[in-house]
Amino acid sequence: MQPIPLRMSEKWAWGALGLFGFIGLWAALSAFGIVPRQFLPSPIDVLARFVHLLTNPFAGATLPQHLASSFQRYAYGVLLAAFIGVPLGLLMGWFRWLDDVVTPLFDGLRFIAPIAWVPFAALWFGVGIGGPILIIFAGAFPPCLINAYRGARFVEPRLIEAARMLGTGHLRMILEILLPAATPSIVSGLRVSAGLGWQSLVGAELIVAAAGVGFMMVQAQANVATPTVMAGMAAIGLVGMAIDVMLRQGEAWLRRRRGLQV
């Protein structure tokens, strides 16, 4: 059911009303002291703190430095998941026996929330960089594997038959037929992975880290520095959104090149 579309001006007016209503309510709750300012700082306070944190350190580093160390772990974890998950998925899509061997194990592990690896991550790596990477990997791995596998399984049989008739070996079949054909599916899997990895990173840093935005937020929480907690949330949201926008652009570009529906 598609209701009648609004005119552009109406749409903007309602959007502005909603946004200002939301921010106004937030500002009013803290300004009139309905909620103690210590627990709900005004939007201005949060913005001021955000700007303040850009140059002044909290919990040992400034906000950009915390973001940089978070992003480094994140990149390692997601890349590791992609470099293991995608090839394994393609192999599972081609070799039936591997599919039969791996799938039950994978299905069993998948129900364990990535964050539940935290205690082992702490036990094995302390607060070093390995712990968060393990947890990001646990969050980002399943979509990489599943999408590569599905992409490889749903390649047009004609392509495989033609290649097979021409005597293509296993390696070339995977690299030159399955991989290109599965690329759109793999890329959308990577996008999902990137999002889940970012979520896992935040969770990991809340518990096992000595730097990073999550760590900064936990320290701020312990000090009842609510504006800092909220500035951290804003930073996490902004970076997550930037990652998503970039990957969406990449995916759309790839799909256009392939002549697929965007």
Place of tokens 């209701």: 3
Give me the amino acid identity at 209: A
How many residues bind to other proteins according to rule CB under 8 A?
63
CB atoms within 10 A of CB 50: 18
Are 41 and 30 spatial neighbours (Cβ–Cβ below 8 Å)? yes
Of residues 61 and 229, the one with the C-beta less far from other proteins: 229
> Which one of the spans 50-58, 171-179, 221-229, 249-257 is the region binding other proteins (CB under 8 A)?
221-229
Of the candidates 147, 205, 202, the one whose C-alpha atom is nearest the C-alpha of residue 178 is 147
Q: What is the CA radius of gyration of the chain?
A: 23
Cα–Cα distance measured from residue 171 to residue 177, given in angstroms and rounded to the nearest whole number: 10
> Which one of the spans 11-19, 68-76, 147-155, 183-191 is the region binding other proteins (CB under 8 A)?
11-19
Q: Does 224 bind other proteins (CB under 8 A)?
A: yes
Cα–Cα distance measured from residue 250 to residue 238, given in angstroms and rounded to the nearest whole number: 18
Q: Pick from 44, 51, 123, 246: which binds other proteins (CB under 8 A)?
A: 123
Provide the minimum distance between the beta carbon of 1 and other proteins in the complex, in angstroms, as a whole number.
4
Count of alpha carbons within 13 angstroms of residue 92, beta-carbon side: 22
Q: Pick from 18, 24, 57, 60: which binds other proteins (CB under 8 A)?
A: 18
Q: Does 206 bind other proteins (CB under 8 A)?
A: yes
Q: Does 44 bind other proteins (CB under 8 A)?
A: no
Tokens for 137, please give them: 């990997």
- Residues interacting with other proteins, by CB under 8 A? 1-6, 10-11, 14-19, 21-22, 39, 97, 100-105, 108-109, 111-120, 122-124, 198-199, 202-203, 206-207, 214, 217-218, 220-221, 224, 226, 229-230, 232-234, 236-238, 240-241, 244
